Each structure stands twice: as C-alpha cells, then as structure tokens.
Chains A and B, each alone.
Chain A
Amino acid sequence: MDTSVITDNFDTFTDDALGWISDNGEWLFDFIRMVLEGTYDGILWVLQISPFYVIAALAALLGWRLINLAAGLLTGVALTFCTAMGLWAETMSTLALVATATILALVVGIPIGILAGFVRSFDRALEPVLDLIQTLPPYIYLLPAIALLGYGPATALIATFIVAMPPAIRLTSLGIRMTPREFIELGQASGLTPWQMFTKIRLPFAIPSVMAGINQSLMMAFGMVVIAGIVGSGGLGETIYGAVRTLDIATSINAAIAIVILTMVLDRLTQSAAHRAKAGAR
C-alpha cells in the first residue's frame, strides 16, 4: 500500500480542519486578536508617549537601585545609543511586543505552574507537552497563527507567548515542589489551613524559582520576537528581516545591536531582581 495516501489524507485533513476553525471560530480569533493587539497598543502607547530620555533615565534608575551605579549609568548610555542609531521607535515596539507576550505567558504560565506543583499527575502529563513546545522549531508556531490571526503583531504575540510560557510553568512548578520538608511540617504542626500553607510557606520559598522563570520567559520571548519579524510584528525583528531581504548589512547590524542592548538590560534587571528575592528568602 502506498503510504503517501495516508500522509496526503492527513495533510488534507489538517488543512480542512484549519480552514474549518478559521471559518467557524472567526469571532474567537477576532476576540483574541483584539485582546493581544489592545494590550500591545496600550503598552506601546505608554512607551512612545514618553520621550526617550525619560525611558532611558527610568531604566538607569532601576539599574542603579537593583544592581549598582555603574550598571545604572551603562544602562542609560546603552539605551541612548539605540536612539543614536535612529532605532528608538523600533526598539520600543520590540520592548512592547516582548512585554506583552511575556506578561501573557506569565499570567497563564504561573497559575498552570502552581497547579502542576501541587498535582503530580498534571505535572507528569504537562512535561511532554512542554518538551514538545521547546523542541519544535519556533517558526512552526507562526504558520497556524498567521492562518488564524493574519499578518501583524497579533500573530507575533501568540507565537512569542507560546515560546515564552514553558520556562514560567516549569520553574514555578519546581519552586512549589521544592518547599523544604521541615517547613511543610512546621505549617502542619502550627495548624495552617491549606491556603495559609500556600501563601505563608510554599509561595515565599517558590519566589526565587518563579523569578528565575520570569527571566527565562523574557529571554525566550526576545529570541522569538526577532523571528516573528517575518509575519509583520513591527519593531527590530521586522527591521532585521527587511534589511536581510535588501542586503542592507549596516541596518541589520544596527538593529541587532539594539536587540542585544535591550535583551541585556532586561536580563540584568530581572536577574538581579531574582537574586534579591533569593536573598530575601534565605
């Protein structure tokens, strides 16, 4: 028997299913797009309404408070450099994309992670799904997304959201499960209700791991947001994609530098926030 019949049938089926979903679920995908783009536009509006020096100064201040004065100054200078390259607007769109996707990934991922931390069987069922999400090439997520949500930031956001979610789930679940045995016993012996056990014992011990998860989600989101330039995400990703197509090497290098700067600034800031949470829990 010709096996290609099976695969052809499967392919037809997949295409039909996708077609059916996009026809019948139009209202749903319109709604999803509205939520995604609404959040994105809101964040972008805030970032664009303030002049670059306000954002740079705020980031510098954060760097100073969370790390040290040198880090703060470097942050300010690095962000100013993005403006100097004429890429401030794109940098802010990328920041808005990353922020939106990461926030959504955390809003969905952290509760799932908490549930997985408590329910062992759910965690075991989740594990292969997360493995799959993380091993598939990230481009894969763009295709169904573009079919359902169309060209534009919404598709980029949903793909970025999918890629950014697994670390938040994994590290939250790990944090919840890692509560030291003696503190569980303390909680039980002190007569804590299950809710008190969660808020007063489990959660404080999980915070460092959750913070590490947030940092990881953010980094995954940065990786994806550049790839998402292909589907018209806007921002630096699209600048790079456009520059690659026109062989504009100078622009693509500038945009790449801007991405590196943005990534490093956010990475350092969230990492030191995570360290602080760890120091607080020790």
Chain B
Amino acid sequence: MNTINNANEVLVDCQNVWKIFGARAPTAIRAVEERGLSKKQILEEFDCVVGVANANLQVRRGEIFCIMGLSGSGKSTLVRLLNRLIEPSLGQITIKGKDIAKLNAAELRDMRARNIGMVFQSVALLPGRTVLENAAFGLEVRGVPRDERYKIARAALEKVGLADWMARYPSELSGGMQQRVGLARALAADPEIILMDEPFSALDPLIRRQLQDEFRQLTKSLGKSSVFITHDLEEAIRIGDRIAIMKDGVIVQVGTAEEIVTQPADDYVSEFVAGISRIHLVKAHSVMLPVAEFQTLQPHCDVEALLKTSPEADIGELIDLTMRSNRDAVAVVENGAMVGIVTTRGLLCGVAGTPARELVAA
C-alpha cells in the first residue's frame, strides 16, 4: 500500500505557470490574470515575450519526464522555473509538496543542494579541478568533509564508468566523458530529482544513444526522478516514461510515447511524429479489432486457433508472430480472456500511423 502511494507521489507539480519577459511584464501579467490574453495579444499590447504560457505538469516519483520542443519553445525556461533559476510570473510550483516561491534564500539553496540536481548541455565542469573534485563539487559546497565527499564522488564516477579518470582534468576528457562527469556530479549530491537540460545534444549520435540508455538505466536503478529537456523526439521516446511537447511556450500534449505517436493532439505534433518508427512504440491494444467485429468480417476463421499474445506486445513482436503462424491474424489475450484480434491490415495501419479510430471504421 505504502509503496503504491510512494510510486504515485507527485514530486514536481506545476500549476498554471507563466513566465513573461519584458519591461512591462508586471502589467502584462495583470492583464493575463484579469482578461486571459493570448500570447499574441501580450506581444502586441505590452511588447512582452511569453516564455512559458499556462504550463501544467506533474512528475511522479521514479518517473522520467521528457519535455520536447524546438529552440525557442520555452523548454529551457520551463526547466529553470522548476528550481527557481527563473522566477515564475504567475502560477505555483511545488517540489515535494513545498511551494518553492515561498522559500527564503537559505531554504532555496538547501533545496537546490539536496533535492534537485541539474545537468547542463554545456556540462560546466570547473576547468581547474580534477574529475573527482568536480564530481564532489555539490557535496563540497554543502560542507561534507573531504574524505567522505571523495568516497561518494568516487562511487558516483564508478557508476558512470569513469573509475580510471578521476585524477584527470576535464580538458583531457572527450565530450561524452565530460557529460558523464556532469551526471556523476549530479548523482553524488543524491537528489531525488535531476533536471537534465539537453545534456546529450552536443554529442555525436553513437555516444548519445549509449548515454541515453545508460542514463535511463541508472535513473531507474537508483529510483531517481528526472525532468529531461530535449529537442529530439527520438531521444524523448527512448528515455521518457512520459513526454510533454512544447510549442511557443505552450505544452501542447502530455502523454506516453505511444499516446503521442498514435494520438497526436494537433497538426504540429502529428507532423513531428510522422517520421518516428512505430515498430516498438505501438502496442497490440491500439491496433486490435474487437473480437466480434473480426468475426463478422471473417466468419470462417476459428479465433481459438490463432497464435496468442498480450496487449503490450509491440508491432515488432506482432509481425514476428504473424510470420510464424499460417494465418494472417493474431489473438490478443488479457487475463485469460480474448480481448481483440490484430489483423495484417491492422498491423499495416499501425506501422503507417493511421489513427485507431479509422482502423475500427475499416
């Protein structure tokens, strides 16, 4: 019972958060409160730029939450609002149930030092310090004694595979290794939440993939939560449990990778997901036909004789099964009951990205 509560515990909660930049921002904010102006109206009337408009999001314990958007979409602003590197213009942000706007300077420092780690695209390793000293930086500023902080930093560096590099200086390391040190520095402080601001964007594709997988595995095994900023949808899909898509300061859709790919909220999102391979994203439950409908289409087929699979099987597995059977359909079974049938046609629709609604109509 307790564990279930813990797993659903909301660590980061953003409620109606706005950030407006510009000389007349305070007036613009009042106008938003009173009249509910749009971004365009704010720009025209007050000459203020809206960084983040009415953002709502919840990050639960143990979850990796990706925020995907192109440059200028407000994703970097949004992530900086979460640890108050940027003050919100409007709205409420709570971290572990505490309203961070109400923290005083010392409490805010303490929260940043203990609860929220951050990893930057630029890595920001201090050039005059060794890898070990860099990894121990967060503990050092917290006043952890030297031996203890080095012990913890060493363990963190071992986790990211840099055990042999501790005495080196950052300039001696490759980009990928530097970013590992950045991650180790965040992990050493042992925060519950790690904010990742496009950490892998500057790395070459092979290293990036490797780090994405390692990051996900490490975060999950350590039970950390993370808000991961990226401009790369494929990265968001690889890493994120849930993904928020941002455009012009607005969160246009929040959902799992499958939800975003199969049910894009608008044209912008569907354009984005158009090029994404659905093979491992789309699951049987979103491409299957109800059993009754299948039987009206193919009355002679004996559904009991079909190969069976679970609703969570992805298109790749379904293709494998279809190839192995001599029929052109696979039965989906959940808790011993048959819940649907995936036909070859359904599989093709899934790969092509035809929405499930049209599938049923067909």
Given that A196-B141, A281-B127, A281-B128 are known contacts, is A186 also in contact with B120, CB under 8 Å in the complex? yes
Q: How distant is B193 from chain A, measured CB to nearest CB, in Å?
A: 12
Q: Which residues of B contact A193 (CB under 8 A)?
A: 109, 141
Q: How distant is A198 from chain B, measured CB to nearest CB, in Å?
A: 12
A183 touching B110, Cβ below 8 Å:
no
> Which of A191, A201, A204, A280 neighbours the largest number of chain B CB atoms within 10 Å of its CB?
A191
Q: How distant is B48 from chain A, measured CB to nearest CB, in Å?
A: 23
Q: Which residues of A contact B110 (CB under 8 A)?
A: 191
A190 at the interface (CB under 8 A from B): yes
A120 at the interface (CB under 8 A from B): no
The A interface is mostly helix, strand or loop, or mixed, namely: helix
Q: Which residues of B contact A280 (CB under 8 A)?
A: 127-128
Chain B, range 73-111, C-beta contacts under 8 Å to A: 83, 85, 108-111
A84 at the interface (CB under 8 A from B): no
In the complex, what residue of chain B is closest to A191 when comparing beta carbons? Answer: B113
A2 at the interface (CB under 8 A from B): no
B124 touching A182, Cβ below 8 Å:
yes
Chain B, range 102-132, C-beta contacts under 8 Å to A: 108-114, 116-118, 120, 122, 124, 126-128
B146 at the interface (CB under 8 A from A): no
- Interface 1/0s, chain A 166-200, versus B by CB < 8 A? 00000000000000101101101111110010001
A185 touching B85, Cβ below 8 Å:
yes
Given that A189-B85, A192-B109 are known contacts, is A204 also in contact with B120, CB under 8 Å in the complex? no
A124 at the interface (CB under 8 A from B): no
Q: Which residues of B contact A245 (CB under 8 A)?
A: none
CB contact between B141 and one of A183, A190, A282 (< 8 Å): that residue: A190
B171 at the interface (CB under 8 A from A): yes
CA A192 to CA B118, docked complex, whole Å: 13
Q: Which residues of A contact B142 (CB under 8 A)?
A: 191
A191 touching B141, Cβ below 8 Å:
yes
B120 touching A188, Cβ below 8 Å:
no
B138 at the interface (CB under 8 A from A): yes
Q: Which residues of B contact A201 (CB under 8 A)?
A: 126
B124 touching A204, Cβ below 8 Å:
no
Q: Which residues of A contact B85 (CB under 8 A)?
A: 185, 188-189
B150 at the interface (CB under 8 A from A): no
Q: How distant is A149 from chain B, measured CB to nearest CB, in Å?
A: 42
> Which of B83, B85, B109, B117 neighbours the largest number of chain A CB atoms within 10 Å of its CB?
B109
CB contact between A185 and one of B111, B120, B137, B141 (< 8 Å): that residue: B120
A186 touching B127, Cβ below 8 Å:
no
A190 touching B112, Cβ below 8 Å:
yes
Seed contacts A191-B141, A200-B140; 10 additional CB < 8 Å A-B pairs:
A183-B124, A183-B126, A189-B85, A189-B112, A189-B117, A191-B110, A191-B111, A193-B141, A200-B141, A204-B126
